[in-house]
């Protein structure tokens, strides 16, 4: 017999098992929803056990993230998510640790902790949601707000030079540096997957639209009408080509990038070939923007392998214990010298 009425088909949602039962409390239309979905999808694809995953955040709209993940997590204090994650990683090398921060939380009060986490190369993934504004505290300018931005804390326009998050991460020796967009799920998923597979400090800047306090800040890179003329999709081993008809490219004149027309005597073989293992060229890429009439790069700028802090720490511990014989670690910490105070 055929069943009466309609039969509901069960649709499997990628990453659903990583979603918590908490009500998501971001503003409708916020770019954070898309980022959350892509992170959950990547973890599901990697089949990482939920009990081995930890999300640590600071303060800000982005920092609600751990509540919405069905994993371990901690909503910590302003700017200190990187410090807390460093401590956890130092003693638990088995965990998959993610840090979620914003341009205000991570680059203002948390800037010092961020650069030291990157230079030490802890094996963590750091997602920096950049909306060029303080959203949670209702629209003050942030460390990435462009000069001249007019808002509640800068009625005459900001006069601070904004941080360049990618250049900052490269300067701090992050071993993986990339940029994604909240509304480009394919790009974002590929970058997140690369970061998850990378052993070392992964830094991903994500352009995230705050549709309440800074709507349209990145529309030139997300709108289909303009995106191809103003962005370059980076792919290791491929030439830097852009434009709606892929008719423009970038060459290097020494260390100075220049835009050329492919219809004017240049071919793709003449263009700059992206090498994500070259730190010098990655630094040049991080500086491309409208300020120098260049398109902005999207994707992985830099990826390299070097020892992580926690591996070096445990290797040092093992060497010390071996050299000391049967002594425990506390005895080693006390050292060989002692004083009697009378």
Do the domain assignments include residue 251? no
Q: Tell me whether residue 155 is exposed, middle or buried, using C-beta atoms within 10 angstroms of its C-beta: 0 to 12, 13 to 18, 19 or more.
A: exposed
Residue 324's φ and ψ, nearest 5 degrees, are: -90, -5
**Sequential DSSP letters for 160-215:** SPPP-HHHHHHHTT-SEEEEEETT-HHHHHHHHHHHHH-SS-EEEEEE---TTTST
pLDDT tens-digit profile of 221-278?
A: 999 999 999 999 999 999 999 999 999 999 999 889 999 999 888 999 999 999 999 9
Q: What is the pLDDT of residue 327?
A: 63
Indicate if the pLDDT at residue 13 is higher than 70: no
Look at 322 and 250; give whichever has higher pLDDT.
250
Closest residue by Cα to residue 59 from 93, 103, 22: 103
The answer to whether the CB of 293 falls within 8 A of the CB of 258 is no
Indicate if the pLDDT at residue 20 is higher than 80: yes
Do the domain assignments include residue 8? no
pTM exceeding the 0.85 threshold for the entire prediction:
yes
Q: What is the pLDDT of residue 14?
A: 65
Residues spanned by the domain of 166: 22-238+274-303
Q: What is the pLDDT of residue 274?
A: 98
pLDDT tens-digit profile of 175-221?
A: 999 999 999 999 999 999 999 999 999 999 999 999 999 999 999 99
pLDDT tens-digit profile of 111-136?
A: 999 999 999 999 999 999 999 999 88
How far apart CA 166 and CA 233 sit, in angstroms, is 16
Do the domain assignments include residue 42? yes
Q: What is the pLDDT of residue 148?
A: 87
Q: Tell me whether residue 338 is exposed, middle or buried, using C-beta atoms within 10 angstroms of its C-beta: 0 to 12, 13 to 18, 19 or more.
A: exposed
Do the domain assignments include residue 257? no
**What's the whole-number mean pLDDT along residues 7-11?**
41
Do the domain assignments include residue 338? no
Count of domains observed in the chain: 1
Do the domain assignments include residue 2? no
Do the domain assignments include residue 177? yes
pLDDT tier, 292 (very low <50, low <70, confident <90, very high otherwise)? confident
CATH number, domain at 30?
A: 3.40.50.970
Do the domain assignments include residue 321? no
């Amino acid at each position: 017999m055929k069943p009466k009425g309609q039969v509901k088909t069960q649709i499997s949602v990628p990453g659903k098992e990583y979603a918590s039962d908490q009500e998501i409390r971001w503003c409708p239309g916020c770019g954070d929803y898309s980022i959350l979905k892509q992170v959950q999808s990547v973890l599901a694809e990697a089949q990482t056990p939920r009990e081995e995953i930890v999300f640590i955040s600071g303060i800000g709209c982005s920092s609600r993230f751990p509540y919405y993940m069905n994993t371990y997590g901690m909503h910590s204090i302003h700017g200190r998510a990187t410090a807390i994650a460093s401590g956890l990683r130092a003693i638990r090398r088995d965990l998959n640790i993610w840090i979620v921060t914003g341009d205000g939380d991570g680059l203002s009060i948390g800037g010092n902790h961020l650069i030291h986490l990157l230079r030490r190369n802890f094996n963590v993934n750091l997602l920096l949601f950049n909306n060029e504004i303080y959203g949670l505290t209702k629209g003050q300018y942030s460390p990435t707000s462009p000069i001249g931005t007019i808002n509640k804390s800068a009625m005459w326009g900001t006069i601070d030079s904004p941080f360049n998050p990618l250049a900052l991460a490269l300067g701090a020796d992050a071993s993986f540096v990339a940029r994604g967009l909240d509304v480009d799920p394919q790009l974002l998923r590929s970058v997140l997957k690369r970061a998850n597979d990378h052993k070392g400090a992964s830094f991903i800047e994500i352009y995230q639209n705050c549709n309440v306090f800074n709507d349209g800040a990145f529309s030139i890179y997300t709108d289909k009408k303009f995106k191809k003329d103003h962005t370059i999709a980076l792919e290791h081993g491929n030439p830097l080509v852009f434009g709606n008809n892929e008719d423009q490219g970038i060459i290097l004149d020494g260390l100075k990038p220049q835009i050329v027309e492919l219809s004017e005597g240049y071919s793709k073989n003449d263009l700059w070939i992206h090498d994500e293992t070259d730190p010098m060229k990655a630094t040049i890429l991080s500086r491309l923007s409208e300020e120098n009439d260049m398109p902005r790069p999207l994707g992985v700028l830099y990826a390299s392998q070097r020892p992580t802090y926690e591996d070096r720490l445990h290797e040092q511990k093992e060497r010390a214990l071996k050299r000391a014989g049967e002594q425990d670690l506390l005895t080693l910490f006390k050292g060989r010298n002692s004083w009697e105070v009378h």
